[in-house]
Amino acid sequence: MTMRIRALARSLVLDPLRVIRRNKMGFAGFLVLSFILLLSIVGPLFIPLDTKTKIDQIYNPPSWKHILGTDSQGRDIFSQIVHGGKDVLLVAFLSSAISSMIAVTFGSLSAFLGGRFDSLIMTVTDIMLTIPHFPLLSVLAAFVKFTSPVMLAVLLGLLAWPGFLRALRAQVLSLKERDYVQAARVLDLGLGHIIFREIMPNMMAYIAIAFILGMTGAVYSQVGLIMLGLVPFSGHNWGVMINLAWTRGAIFYSGSMSYILAPIAMIALFQWSMVAFTRSLEEVFNPRLRMGQ
Amino acid sequence: MQATATKTAPILSTRDLWLEYSNRRGTVKAVRGITIDLYRGESLALIGESGSGKTTLGLSLIRLLPGSGRVRSGSILYEPDGRTQDILSMSEEAMRRFRWQEIAMVFQSALNAFNPVLRIWDQIYDTVKAHDGMSKQEARKRGLELLKMLQLDPERVIRSYPHELSGGMRQRVLIAVSLLLNPKILILDEPTTALDILTQRNIIDLLRKIKTELDLSMVFISHDLSLAAELADRVATMYAGSVVEIGPVNDMFYRPRHPYTVGLIKAVPTVTGDYRELFSIPGSPPDLVDLPSGCKFHERCDRATKRCHEEEPELVPVGDGHYVRCFSAT
Amino acid sequence: MARQMREIIWRTIRAISTSVLFTRLAKGVMTVFVVMTLTFFIIRLMPSNPIEIYINQLVSQYGMSFQEAKNMAASLFSIDMDAPLYVQYFSYLGNLFRGDLGKSFLSQGTPVSSMIAQFLPWTLFSVGVSLLISFSLGIFLGMTMAYRRGGILDNSLSTFASFVSSIPNYLVGILFLVFLGVRWKIVPIMAMRGSTSPGIQPGFTITFVKDVFFHATMPILTYVTTAIGGWMLTMKNSTVSALGEDYVTVAKARGLRERTITVSYVGRNAILPLFTSLAISIGFIIGGSPLIESIFVYKGIGWVLWSSISTRDYPVMQGVFLVITISVVMANILADLLYSKLDPRIKAGQG
């Protein structure tokens, strides 16, 4: 029993870790991503948010007390960075989860059922894919009052699936022709069995990578909307920090550079680390890639 | 070293040629000290399993070794008209002009031999332009002529994109294009693999026609001995990067001396189709990174003795122009 | 005879309806139609229906009577508010086809269509130039990387490309503004605002062209910096795989010149996969124009969309969104046609 657990642990944790380390850029992405997750999820438990306005400390440059300086109200920027990631991560994760669910369900159904259902889904997908995403979101933001990050995540998720769906459908179509899937169909094991037992395990790599890339897309849209002031979030959020720094003209004060640069750096690092990490994931899931080059 | 099988002088010869390339495991010794002559007007077949070094040897004749491939030592001499040129010491530009003009090569994967986004005519004209000496009209006339010779509908084919042609048609187009500049030597690397049996037949017939009608020297590279029987004047069997037996086609078929050649002949189904069971040589070709000691074939040979384990035999004459690299054959 | 005629007509119809151009056009028209319908129902049926909000605003702020306010709103939206919904819908569609997109709330009386005519060209110009630069430069760099793969140049360019292609373009825009414009004062960002300098005479004069490029510099720089990474990486990968193709080996054996092989054998085939991402890239860049244009106050259609949303100028918002969609659809069709021109295999109906 313990042998099996150990073997399982090796195949699930140790082997992937070893492969992750093989791709330098992917490993760097993995480290940065872990750091950001740790900082945003565990950090708030240890570092209290500075909310007190201190008129005498406006736009102070970095010092030992405030390692990233202070903002337009004399508050510590570092604590805002620590607390500002949670919502960004939440929206990204939730939105990508929703769009992935839609893409996986309808993409595989479309590939399997074919015929009218397939062409209907593909037409809808193509249309949704062509409508420019960000303008649509901004127009909708004029009508829908986004009061919570969850609401925003749901809307982002409901609009972000078309690209993923197309790619997934193509993958399923090619998997469908493989022998073991054909065998399962001949044995009449049921659509659910075929999709979830035969197809999905072979698609996990693909789904995981698309999921992470979906998160980067959600970060782009959400921070963009917040930056333009179209989603009036209050509270602490890297996007809100950029928006405040922007509207309050922080870019013109020399002491305030870190107020705008810190959240930009966090978002940039977050986006880059996710994209870089997918490189390693490709190798974890695709042994053929591991062998070559 | 070799007595001339035909009366003419060699047009292309390799002298103690060693070729190797590197992969992750080490140095692959693909060709080990091959000395072989191609005589003017003859066709020579190189026969062997995959990994015997025959394709590497073929590519080296026009200096097109892939990626990490290199010549360790030896020379390749081209003597078309008394003058001798060493192919390995030609400049890049001279080499470029040399290719296809003097030696053309028909590759095995003809399905993918043509640029998918250019029409056949564009690729014919490309070739001509790269070597000048022919006008556009002449090139077109020559192209149509050759396509017709290869039993294609010339006007239609010349206007087609590669994907509009079948595999057999593409192979015939490639053969036609290979004759475009009147090369003196034609190398054919597995020209019929990947084609169905009827198309194979058709290509073989066309190649025989070319062989009789044109003044060409040919090198056939194949794993298929029956193809060699139909097309070649002389046959060389290759194993683990060296020639183990070479001789006139009849000697090789009726009086094979090397156990490997014997095995290859037994592996060919007879045309009469009797019930003799198809024979296959036990074991697999040796690892070219880590070669066995002595005779490279001893691990698969039923005649192997202690001497075969320790010492690699020389190529020695056993008949008129017939040489073999085996202790038991002499 | 009649039967033959019918046969011929049918065959022609079938040939047209399966052609690349026709299917692309049909899909494009459908997309535009969906967007038209979507904006109509958003504006009419949302809980906080903008027409009612506007009427209430007129009543409370300007002391108009309800009927006056309603007539005013109806004339701005080009909608007869008392007719049944479906009648309104069809007259709305009719108006759109006549090019009547309603009038702006703010600058009252200005037709939305003339606003679009004024602002759209700048977006198309800056996005078009950026695509041209990033696409061609990306192809060149990507091929260079592939030919020298594993070297210092390849490694440093790959790192650069993976960075810039993953960071949101508007953040790069802000960084440019902060460093080039404010910190180091290399670029006169204040003078660059707007799409042209005030008082300049439009025309094909050198001064005018220079001025147009001057104002578009920052948006173009931002678009190019962020878009080029993707092109470089895709081009590198497809060049590497093209280099391994048999037809490249055969081309070498045919003694073709290195330049011919690089350009029409490796290059032409390696570019093909990039055209499939071209359509997506165009949509993404035009879609992101509200962000970039508002950062640099570059007065194109994206800037108008942003300002109309923040001032709740619904007719403008609706019209601009429609026009942005139409631009993306047209760009998509163009990219597809270009692709099918370059890849002869598409015409055979495999696309």
User: Do residue C253 and residue B64 have CB atoms under 8 angstroms apart?
Assistant: yes
The arithmetic mean of pLDDT across residues A138-154, rounded, is 85
Mutation target to probe the A interface, by most A beta carbons within 10 A, among C171, C282, C297 is: C171
Determine the pLDDT at residue B5. Answer: 45
- In this predicted model, which residue has the larger pLDDT, C70 or A265? A265
The pLDDT score that the predictor gives to residue A289 is 47
The verdict on a CB contact (< 8 Å) between C306 and A228 is: yes
The whole-number pLDDT of residue C122 equals: 92
Residue A2 falls inside a structural domain: no
pLDDT for the residue numbered C77: 67
User: Which are the contacts of C106, defined by CB distance < 8 A and separation ≥ 6?
Assistant: C311, C313, C316
The answer as to whether A103 is a domain residue is: yes
Domain region containing A268: 23-44+74-290
Tell me if A18 is assigned to some domain.
Answer: no
Does C43 have pLDDT greater than 60?
yes
pLDDT of residue B110: 61
For residue C98, give how far its alpha carbon lies from the nearest alpha carbon of chain B (Å). 43
Size of interface A-C (CB pairs under 8 A): 129
Q: Please report the pLDDT score of residue C291 as a whole number.
A: 93
Higher pLDDT, A146 or A122: A122
| 3-state SS, residue C220 | helix
Mean local confidence (pLDDT), C229-248: 92
8 A C-beta contact, residue C217 and residue C197: no
Whether C349 shows a pLDDT value over 50: the answer reads no
Spell out the residues 6+ positions from residue B74 whose beta carbon is closer than 8 angstroms to its own: B14, B15, B16, B17, B18, B33, B34, B88
B86–C contact, CB cutoff 8 A: no
Express each pLDDT in B40-56 by its tens digit: 889 999 998 887 888 88
Q: Where are the beta strands (DSSP E) in chain A?
A: none
Distance CA B263, CA B240 (A): 15
Instruction: Classify the C-alpha dihedral A138-A142-A147-A151 as positive or negative.
Output: negative
pLDDT digits (tens, 9 = 90+) for A240-259: 888 888 877 777 776 677 78
Q: Which residues of chain B have pLDDT under 50?
A: 1-6
Cβ–Cβ below 8 Å for C27 and A127: yes
Chains in contact with A via at least 3 Cβ–Cβ pairs below 8 Å = C
List of chain A residues whose C-beta atoms are within 8 Å of the C-beta of residue C182:
251-252
Instruction: Give the model's pLDDT for residue C108.
Output: 67
B30 vs C45, which has greater pLDDT?
A: B30
pLDDT of residue B1: 40
- Is A67 contained in some domain? no
Q: Which of B103, B8, B116 has its CA nearest to residue B60?
A: B103
Q: Which residues of A touch C39 (CB under 8 A)?
A: 139
A159 and chain C: CB distance < 8 Å anywhere? no
**Are C256 and B127 an interchain contact pair (Cβ–Cβ within 8 Å)?**
yes
Q: Is pLDDT at C66 greater than 60 in this prediction?
A: yes
Cα–Cα nearest to C321, from A151, A275, A199, A137: A137
Partners of residue B96 in chain C, C-beta under 8 Å: 255-258
A126 contact residues in C (CB cutoff 8 A): 27, 31
Place of tokens 């005589």: B39
pLDDT at residue number A113: 84
Residue C144's pLDDT is 94
Can you give the CATH number for the domain in which A223 is found?
A: 1.10.3720.10
Cβ C31–A228 below 8 Å, yes or no? Answer: no
pLDDT of residue A286: 63
Contacts with A143 from chain C: Cβ below 8 Å: 42, 46, 48, 50
Average pLDDT for A55-64: 69
Mean pLDDT along residues A58-71: 70
- Specify the number of domains making up chain A: 1
Question: Which residues of chain C does A229 touch, with a Cβ-Cβ cutoff of 8 Å?
Answer: 310
Query: What are the pLDDT digits (tens) for C86-126?
Result: 888 888 888 888 888 878 877 767 888 889 999 999 999 99
Report whether pLDDT(C79) > 70: no
Identify the band that residue A94 occupies on the pLDDT scale cut at 50, 70 and 90: very high
pLDDT at C351: 37
Residue A274 has pLDDT above 90, yes or no: yes
Task: Read off the pLDDT band of A291 (50, 70, 90).
Answer: very low
pLDDT computed for residue B52 by the predictor: 83
| Rg from Cα positions in chain A | 23
Give the closest residue to A86 by CA, choosing from A217, A278, A233, A224: A233
- Return the pLDDT at C49: 64
Within-domain flag for A4: no
How high is the ipTM of this complex? 0.87
Question: What would the pLDDT profile of C190-224 be if each residue is shown by its tens digit?
Answer: 778 877 877 777 777 888 888 888 888 899 999 99
Q: Tell me, yes or no, whether A283 lies in a domain.
A: yes
What proportion of chain C, given as a percentage, has pLDDT over 70? 93
Interchain proximity C305–A135, CB inside 8 Å: yes
Cβ contacts of A274 on chain C, cutoff 8 Å: 166
The beta-carbon neighbor of C31 closest among A130, A260, A276 is A130
Q: Do B101 and C255 touch (CB under 8 A)?
A: yes
C257 close contact with B: CB closer than 8 A:
yes
As a whole number, mean pLDDT of residues A186-196 equals 73
Shortest alpha-carbon distance between residue C41 and chain A (Å): 12
Question: Smallest CA–CA separation between A77 and chain C, in Å?
Answer: 18
Tell me, what's the pLDDT at B268?
Answer: 66
A170 lies within 8 A of chain C by CB: no
Position A59 in a domain:
no
Domains (ranges, CATH) in chain B? Answer: 10-102+184-203+213-277 (3.40.50.300), 112-182 (no CATH)
Least confident of C59-73, C122-136, C256-270, C333-347: C59-73
Chain B residues with CB-CB distance to C273 below 8 A = none
Question: Given B101, B112, B117, which is nearest C344 (Cβ)?
Answer: B117
In a domain, residue A54? The reply is no
Nearest to B192 by CA among B175, B180, B176: B175
Stronger pLDDT, A73 or B114, i.e. the higher one:
B114
pTM: 0.85
Contact between residue A256 and residue A245 where contact means Cβ atoms under 8 Å apart:
yes
Cβ pairs B/C, distance under 8 A: 77
What's the whole-number average pLDDT of chain C? 85
Residue C26: C-alpha distances to residues A77, C21, C113, C333 (Å) = 53, 9, 24, 10
3-state SS, residue B22: strand
Query: How high is the pLDDT of residue C256?
Result: 93
